[in-house]
Amino acid sequence: MLEVYVPATSANIGPGYDCLGLCLDLFNKFTFEELESGLQFEGCDEAFANEDNLVYKTMLFFYDKIKPKKIPKGIKISFENNIPICRGLGSSSTCIVAGLMAANVLSEANLDKDEILKLAIELEGHPDNVAPAIYGNMIIAFMEDGNLYHESIKVPEEIRFLAMVPDFELSTEKARAVLPKEIPHKHGVFNVSRCALLIAAFTKNNLDLVKAACKDKFHQDYRSHLINNYDDIVAYANSLDSLGTFLSGAGPTIMTLAKDGDNEILYKMKSYLAALPDNWQILDLHCDPNGAYYKEV
């Protein structure tokens, strides 16, 4: 039996649209058990307990692409879901990474992390969730002419990531549909400067720069109207002594940053959100430095 643990991720991190992502210390657990034949599921919604299951389809993609000599005749996949679904915390990416890692181990293909990441990007379309899920920390990554380029940015350990999660879903497809086909040149310059500043702020542990560096002209303004009370929540979070606030992935989760020990921001945000509709909850998280891993049990 094989257990695969894949973390939540927060993509874009403000200005890092489709190239910057962060690994968080909240994990989904997937258990794979080889069978003599057939396909079984446990712990997932009945609607997804079939051959269209994303984890299973990802495993088939791996086998078709890599063509390993050993392929399990049957498989049972069990799910322990801790990451909110369709909330901008990389839940679908956990399924892709889990499927690839499990197929790699069970088939004894022995692909390395870069090879796994290339396959994940082929499935996901962009690296900002799958890269940090595989490698941990904050990752800047992109593909060019079939070549993978990525580097890790160590996030200061004293930062806590307060993920404000509502009880409604927002699909990535819907969130992408509201984005413009083209952007003004000045918006490109705006985002390049903020993205560079954000990476420098974390690298140099200059947290006073993070709030300004979280600003964005590529996606957050366009997606804000899809999220109830978005502008009010962001304005209130930024009015506190938070380090910065940004939309997590495509949303609807909103992320605000604080220092360890600064519980006042957490308490005030909880009180503020409790007065709003949509049953907002706060997940108190930290950056995970290691990413996905597996155990053979």
| 87 assigned ligand-binding residue | yes
Q: Are residues 242 and 105 in the same domain?
A: no
| 90 assigned ligand-binding residue | yes
Q: What's the rounded mean pLDDT across residues 259-279?
A: 95
**Total domain count for the chain?**
2
Question: Domain of 132?
Answer: 2-154+288-296
Q: Are residues 38 and 136 in the same domain?
A: yes
Q: What's the rounded mean pLDDT across residues 119-124?
A: 94
pTM beyond 0.75:
yes
Q: Are residues 150 and 54 in the same domain?
A: yes
* Residues with Cβ within 8 Å of residue 70, at least 6 apart in sequence: 106, 107, 108
Say how far apart CA 123 and CA 185 lie, in whole Å.
Answer: 30
Say how far apart CA 123 and CA 37 lie, in whole Å.
Answer: 26
pLDDT digit string (tens) for 70-100? 999 999 999 999 999 999 999 999 999 999 9
Q: Are residues 103 and 187 in the same domain?
A: no
Q: Are residues 164 and 112 in the same domain?
A: no
Say how far apart CA 141 and CA 130 lie, in whole Å.
Answer: 10
| 31 assigned ligand-binding residue | no
pLDDT given at position 261: 87
| 10 assigned ligand-binding residue | no
Q: What is the CATH number of the domain that holds 180?
A: 3.30.70.890
| 89 assigned ligand-binding residue | yes
Q: Are residues 102 and 211 in the same domain?
A: no
Q: Are residues 148 and 163 in the same domain?
A: no
Q: Are residues 240 and 292 in the same domain?
A: no
Q: Are residues 101 and 13 in the same domain?
A: yes
Q: Are residues 222 and 125 in the same domain?
A: no
| 88 assigned ligand-binding residue | yes
8 A C-beta contact, residue 226 and residue 178: yes
More confident position, 222 or 171: 222
Q: What is the CATH number of the domain that holds 143?
A: 3.30.230.10
Residue 123, token pair as written in the block: 């499935």
